[in-house]
Chains A and B, each alone.
Chain A
């Protein structure tokens, strides 16, 4: 059997299992097992398994993932989102669609201490959706805004998908976080503009005049101060080289825990909920790591991924077109597959291809920029039909809004996503500018 046929069979096996609702991690693992067994036989296969789980689970670099997830859950249960939304609504009250804009800003701020888009979407929705309804916002605009705002959870650092990209490609997490900062802020501004344009083009989705304006209070400012302080400590420390990303996540989780305790929001029951939510999210990610490891080991043995890089180099097409092609492929694949699995499965194959191209930039800059581009596509996949995970999460919390309305609601934000992605694709310096200041 030729190498290409074998690689194709491994992929086909994985896709069939996935289509049959087998957990993605297990589908990748089983397909990998067949490919591996066929190529090297049982003894080396069993030996390879001995340390597989240990190597991934007991890894210092990877321990940053459960720590950031724990930090996000402490923030979620600690009532911090409510303070953020109230503060943002005071600032944005004067604008038409101000509450929707406030939801976007609160999502961005929450995203600065939470690395998960679903957690951000769910948390901000629980505080912002009732308020937006009370003020007469349409279900379409409210759910669309909250689903889009949720993606700021990963677009603004910390970001779990970006950490996974950094680990797979052996890049510096601090530099990738720095690179994501400006694109994340552009994303937030793009969403604010999308709202401003939408409420003018399609009147009736937001109140024309909203006289029920909250006022700035000292208590309101004090309530958001801890979040700003935690963010400054964690990222100041990581960017300044004072501590590693794992230490930053540890300090951030401890500080968020204390801040939530001081707000007197954290009961024993809520702490247990933090642990359950962290358990579900972390175990899911680590199991996908194990499955992708097996699958990628089997594929690497076929040599097909290595050959792919030289084949594509031989085509002599413009590098930026190759990257655009990969991103388009992600958009298509993202319609059926979740984004973390997609990154874990395809980055080991596509990354060598991209690194083999000549962009006229240093290799490290290309790696960082490509990571940001992948992150943008992940954000897009979380909103786009047919399966936008964020849209499902927010829509599930808004009982009376049909899912079709929510998908209509995310359209202006998808337009903003596409424009931003093209901008970042065309101008790598936007992403790379902050990186040089990382210590």
Chain B
């Protein structure tokens, strides 16, 4: 569990660094465009591709901390045990859906690779973004399935 927690942290920090890098590219692009009239070609596409990877990398930490919103209105009076059991069931569903998404995103990535799909301006291959998204999705699924089997992580509350 320590390893999974470490990997989730690593993903979140990596994604944060990617996002911060986007902000700097944006500044550079804007300064170039509004002062010397030089536009950074494909800055929108770069932002979209980087955001795609970053959002996927954010998923494991969100699940580890159980930050995905639930409705606790109807179970507010149920016992702690019942709620813990339901939470395990919820984690199981999330894990299963995440595996399904990882599988289909991988298939989508393979077909993007075969058809050589690229972005319009930069010609950036789309399969790279797809393949950056699959590993964090698998990690999220594994975290959720471990939560199903063993309950919450000890490392959760940090």
Query: Which A residues are closer than 8 A to B by beta carbons?
Result: 17-26, 29-30, 46, 49-54, 57-60, 62-63, 66-67, 70, 237, 242-243, 246-247, 250-251, 253-254, 257, 271-272, 274-276, 278-284, 286-288, 290, 335-338, 340-341, 386-387
- 7 tightest Cβ-Cβ pairs between the two chains A and B: A58-B52, A275-B16, A250-B26, A283-B62, A50-B108, A63-B51, A49-B104
Asked if residues B129 and A58 are in contact (CB atoms below 8 Å), the reply is yes
Asked if residues B75 and A283 are in contact (CB atoms below 8 Å), the reply is no
Instruction: Name the B residues within 8 Å of A338 (CB-CB).
Output: 69, 71
A363 to chain B, nearest CB (A): 27
Asked if residues B133 and A275 are in contact (CB atoms below 8 Å), the reply is no
Asked if residues A18 and B34 are in contact (CB atoms below 8 Å), the reply is no
Asked if residues A247 and B15 are in contact (CB atoms below 8 Å), the reply is no
Instruction: Name the B residues within 8 Å of A284 (CB-CB).
Output: 62, 67-69
Instruction: Name the B residues within 8 Å of A58 (CB-CB).
Output: 48-49, 51-53, 129
Q: Contacting A386 at CB < 8 Å: which of B57, B62, B73, B133? A: B73
How distant is the Cα of A157 from the Cα of B85 in the complex, in angstroms? 40
Contacts A46-B104, A246-B47 given; indicate if A57 touches B16 (C-beta within 8 A).
Answer: no
Chain B contact patch, size range: 35 or more
Q: Contacting B23 at CB < 8 Å: which of A60, A251, A275? A: A251
Contacts A26-B93, A276-B61, A287-B59 given; indicate if A250 touches B22 (C-beta within 8 A).
Answer: yes
A-B contact pairs, 24 of them (CB 8 A): A18-B70, A20-B75, A21-B86, A23-B68, A23-B90, A25-B68, A49-B100, A52-B101, A53-B56, A54-B133, A70-B19, A70-B23, A253-B23, A275-B12, A276-B9, A279-B15, A279-B61, A282-B58, A283-B58, A283-B62, A283-B67, A286-B55, A287-B59, A336-B74
How distant is the Cα of A93 from the Cα of B110 in the complex, in angstroms? 64
Asked if residues A23 and B104 are in contact (CB atoms below 8 Å), the reply is no
- Asked if B83 is an interface residue, CB under 8 A from chain A, the answer is yes
Q: Contacting B54 at CB < 8 Å: which of A20, A66, A281? A: A66
Nearest neighbor of B130 in chain A, beta-carbon distance: A54
B92 to chain A, nearest CB (A): 9
Nearest neighbor of A341 in chain B, beta-carbon distance: B69
B127 to chain A, nearest CB (A): 10
Asked if residues A280 and B24 are in contact (CB atoms below 8 Å), the reply is no
Known: A21-B90, A54-B105, A57-B51. 17 other contacts (CB 8 A): A22-B86, A22-B93, A23-B69, A24-B69, A49-B104, A50-B108, A52-B104, A54-B126, A54-B129, A66-B54, A67-B19, A70-B16, A253-B19, A276-B61, A283-B62, A336-B73, A340-B69
Instruction: Name the B residues within 8 Å of A66 (CB-CB).
Output: 19, 51, 54-55, 58
Asked if residues B20 and A21 are in contact (CB atoms below 8 Å), the reply is no
Contacts A66-B54, A280-B65 given; indicate if A337 touches B23 (C-beta within 8 A).
Answer: no
A253 to chain B, nearest CB (A): 4
How distant is the Cα of A62 from the Cα of B49 in the complex, in angstroms? 11
B88 to chain A, nearest CB (A): 10
Kindly identify, within residues 74 to 121 of chain B, every residue whose CB is under 8 Å from any CB belonging to chain A. Answer: 74-75, 83, 86-87, 89-90, 93-94, 97, 100-101, 104-105, 107-108, 111
How distant is the Cα of A386 from the Cα of B129 in the complex, in angstroms? 42
Asked if residues B20 and A70 are in contact (CB atoms below 8 Å), the reply is yes
Nearest neighbor of B34 in chain A, beta-carbon distance: A242
How distant is the Cα of A66 from the Cα of B22 in the complex, in angstroms? 11
How distant is the Cα of A282 from the Cα of B101 in the complex, in angstroms? 18
Instruction: Name the B residues within 8 Å of A246 (CB-CB).
Output: 26, 44, 47
Q: Contacting A275 at CB < 8 Å: which of B15, B30, B101, B130? A: B15
Asked if residues A288 and B12 are in contact (CB atoms below 8 Å), the reply is no
B118 to chain A, nearest CB (A): 13
How distant is the Cα of A288 from the Cα of B94 in the complex, in angstroms? 12
Instruction: Name the A residues within 8 Å of B107 (CB-CB).
Output: 46, 50
- Asked if B13 is an interface residue, CB under 8 A from chain A, the answer is yes
Q: Which of A51, A247, A253, A275 has the largest number of chain B CB atoms within 10 A? A: A275
Asked if residues B48 and A274 are in contact (CB atoms below 8 Å), the reply is no
Contacts A52-B101, A53-B105, A54-B105 given; indicate if A257 touches B23 (C-beta within 8 A).
Answer: yes
- Asked if B149 is an interface residue, CB under 8 A from chain A, the answer is no
How distant is the Cα of A281 from the Cα of B83 in the complex, in angstroms? 23
Kindly identify, within residues 28 to 64 of chain B, every residue whose CB is under 8 Å from any CB belonging to chain A. Answer: 29-30, 34, 44-45, 47-59, 61-63
Nearest neighbor of B73 in chain A, beta-carbon distance: A336
How distant is the Cα of A181 from the Cα of B89 in the complex, in angstroms? 43
Asked if residues A60 and B101 are in contact (CB atoms below 8 Å), the reply is no
- Asked if B27 is an interface residue, CB under 8 A from chain A, the answer is yes
Instruction: Name the A residues within 8 Å of B45 (CB-CB).
Output: 60
Asked if residues A20 and B90 are in contact (CB atoms below 8 Å), the reply is yes
Nearest neighbor of B90 in chain A, beta-carbon distance: A22
How distant is the Cα of A70 from the Cα of B26 in the complex, in angstroms? 14
Asked if residues A19 and B74 are in contact (CB atoms below 8 Å), the reply is yes
A50 to chain B, nearest CB (A): 3
Instruction: Name the A residues within 8 Å of B50 (CB-CB).
Output: 63
How distant is the Cα of A51 from the Cα of B133 in the complex, in angstroms? 12
Asked if residues B20 and A280 are in contact (CB atoms below 8 Å), the reply is no
How distant is the Cα of A247 from the Cα of B23 in the complex, in angstroms? 8
Asked if residues A278 and B62 are in contact (CB atoms below 8 Å), the reply is no
Nearest neighbor of A63 in chain B, beta-carbon distance: B51
How distant is the Cα of A17 from the Cα of B70 in the complex, in angstroms? 10
